[in-house]
Amino acid sequence: MKKRITLILLLLIPLIFITISPPTYGYYCKLDSLELNKQKYFIDETIKINASWELNYNIYNEIAYIQIQIYNSQDKIIWNSSKYDEIGNFNKDWELKIEFLNITDNNYSHIFYIKFYSYYFHIDTMYLQENFLETREIIIFKRNLFFQIFGFKNRIEYGKNLNFSIKFYDPFLENTPYLINQIVIFNIISNFSLLYESNYSLNELNTINISVSTVTHLTIGYNILSFQISNNRIYNDSKFLFDLIIEKNSVFIDVINFNNNLQINDVLDMDLFFYYYFNSTLTPLNNHSIILKIFNNESTMFLQTYNTDKDGFLKIEISLYFLPIKESSDLFIINIFFNGTNLLQNKTLSLILKINLSSNQKIKSHFHINVFLLILIIGFFSISPLFLLIKIKLKKEKLLNEITFRY
């Protein structure tokens, strides 16, 4: 009897343990779904992940769990979820702000891989099994910056200042808080040489105000203005270039006195004022050479170089009588030319002069008549003494009939 009781107890003990312990069926892991809200993201957006899975294993001699992991293109893990080792069926959501992920490169776009990872380890046999049950590829883009420029001119004269402002913005966002206090590197380059460099910080309106001087910051000719934004978490590195031409100062000529209708025996009398503007201030063109040329039918009649005085004035007086004027035309061109300097432009002023040639004919006729009369007068006074001598001689001689012979 005792042997039967002992045998029954030995048979019941395993059944008791089976009843108390949870049932185990060995390691089993199955992914039902791995879903993302989309495949392409801007870096300031959120990745939404949903996964459903089933996990089962022996908790006494096995270790198992699942995990969501994100890898970059260099196969380096940049984020992972917690380890989920609960037995059963589960559905889980994750929301990840991309800007807080461990993304360090500055490429235009980034390829990442979201992987569903399962881990299994058998304690007794030391058997290890790791699997990626599913992988999803995503692309993360940095945003592009746009700009607006206000008050900029691509051509200004030397001596002036250029004041303008630049606003950076993203047309796809109502506001761009990611740009406040962003550093903007400003460079001025000419002939591959750096003329000027400065850093600016964007204000709450994402704007910087620039003031450059053509005297201290720029050079005559072609300049490149460069604005560069780097190391921003949300936006791509951007460089904006502007061309700026610094021109020589324009020279102006005011005609104070000039009569464009003269007679051949008149004097060409001109009063001129030469000047330019430097930083919006009128400045006389003092002590500079000025070339004056008078020509007719492309034939140069007169060429002379003059100098302006200390106040930029020039007075010209030319007697027309001594010019080699032809009678074929009475219209003449007067060119007044300034040859420019390193900072001043060339300047040519053309004027039309009319010379009345009919008076020239009269003058020449009177001249010929006067010369002829003068020759006659000189000839008369030259011949008169001869006639006088002849007359005197005739008076001394008597005619034959007037001679009386006396014996």
CATH number of 251-359: 2.60.40.2550
Lay out the sheet containing 155-157: strands in order across. Answer: 155-157, 238-247, 221-229, 183-190, 193-201
Which residues of the chain are in CATH 2.60.40.2550 domains? 22-141, 251-359
CATH number of 146-247: 2.60.40.1930
**Beta carbons within 8 Å of 146's beta carbon, 6+ residues apart:** 168, 169, 170, 171
pLDDT of the residue at 14: 47
Closest CA to 29 of 66, 81, 84: 66
Strands 267-278, 281-284: parallel, antiparallel or unpaired by DSSP? antiparallel
- Alpha-carbon distance of 46 to 96, in angstroms, equals 5
Q: Residue 295 is encoded by which pair of tokens?
A: 């020509």
User: What fold, for 22-141?
Assistant: Immunoglobulin-like (2.60.40)
Closest CA to 275 of 302, 255, 300, 295: 255
Cα distances (angstroms) measured from residue 153 to each of 244, 248, 276, 294: 7, 15, 20, 39
DSSP string, 376-393: HHHHHHHHHHHHHHHHHH
Which residues of the chain are in CATH 2.60.40.1930 domains? 146-247
- Burial of 78 from C-beta contacts in 10 A (0-12 / 13-18 / 19+): middle
**Beta carbons within 8 Å of 179's beta carbon, 6+ residues apart:** 145, 168, 202, 206, 232, 235
pLDDT of the residue at 114: 97
- Listed as ranges, residues in the chain with pLDDT below 70 are 1-25, 105-106, 326-329, 358-407
- Alpha-carbon distance of 364 to 345, in angstroms, equals 45
Distance of CA 98 to the CA centre of its chain: 36
pLDDT of the residue at 23: 43
- Alpha-carbon distance of 349 to 63, in angstroms, equals 98
Q: How many CB atoms lie within 10 A of CB 51?
A: 22
Q: What is the 3-state secondary structure (H, E, C) of 278-306?
A: ECCEEEECCCCEEEEEEEECCEEEEEEEE
- Residue 298 φ/ψ region, left for φ over 0, alpha for ψ in the -120 to 50 degree band, beta for the rest: left
- Alpha-carbon distance of 287 to 274, in angstroms, equals 10
